[in-house]
Amino acid sequence: MNQEMLSLGLDIVIAVLLCATIVYAYMLNKRLQALRADREEMENLLRKFYDATNKADASIKGLKQTSEVMGGELQEKIDKARSLRDEITFMLERGDLLANQLEGAISASRTERPGQDLSGLMNKAAQNMEKKSKTKDLRNLENIFTEEAEGQSAVEKELLKALKGLR
């Protein structure tokens, strides 16, 4: 009996240990399943991150191209604006020069030929303006003379009428 009891005791101990091993294996299996699920989730997360990185890279390249194109267009507009500014400055200088010449001609005509018809003087002034000016637009001169027309002499008013007639 002794041996049978010992054998039975050992069998019970082995059965208990075997049950503990089965329970431990079951718990380990659950943890491994959770780890595998987390691994798949991590792989999905990494794939999404990789895709997002590629999209961001493509977007950055697109933004660079767009900014280069827009920068070029903006530079063209700036250059055109500078050119127009220079052209307007030139026109203003020419207009001032012509206004000074007309003023001198008016002063000279008052002292040399008071009361005389100014048609010859106007023709000469018109010819000089056409030769010296790139533009034939006399509106700026008309505006200058129109602003100062009040209180001016009859000769200057006639000159203003003649300038309006040249348009």
* Domains in the chain: boundaries: 2-166
Can you tell me the distance from the alpha carbon of 166 to that of 136, in angstroms, rounded to the nearest whole number?
A: 10
Can you tell me the distance from the alpha carbon of 134 to that of 132, in angstroms, rounded to the nearest whole number?
A: 7
Count other Cβ atoms within 10 Å, centred on residue 125: 21
Does position 121 have pLDDT exceeding 60, yes or no? no
What integer best gives the mean pLDDT of the chain?
Answer: 80
DSSP of 23-51: HHHHHHHHHHHHHHHHHHHHHHHHHHHHH
Query: Which pLDDT does position 103 carry in this prediction?
Result: 85
Query: Which pLDDT does position 147 carry in this prediction?
Result: 47
Can you tell me the distance from the alpha carbon of 94 to that of 111, in angstroms, rounded to the nearest whole number?
A: 26
Does position 148 have pLDDT exceeding 50, yes or no? no
Can you tell me the distance from the alpha carbon of 13 to that of 5, in angstroms, rounded to the nearest whole number?
A: 12
Query: Which pLDDT does position 13 carry in this prediction?
Result: 95
- Most confidently predicted of 38-42, 43-47, 130-134: 43-47
Helix H or strand E encompassing 66:
helix 2-112
How much is the pTM? 0.39
Mean pLDDT across 36-62 = 93
Can you tell me the distance from the alpha carbon of 133 to that of 63, in angstroms, rounded to the nearest whole number?
A: 47
Can you tell me the distance from the alpha carbon of 9 to that of 17, in angstroms, rounded to the nearest whole number?
A: 12
Mean pLDDT across 46-62 = 95
Question: Closest Cα to residue 154, out of 102, 108, 118, 105?
Answer: 118
Question: Closest Cα to residue 144, out of 94, 107, 82?
Answer: 94
Residue 134: pLDDT band by 50, 70, 90 thresholds? very low
Query: Which pLDDT does position 149 carry in this prediction?
Result: 47
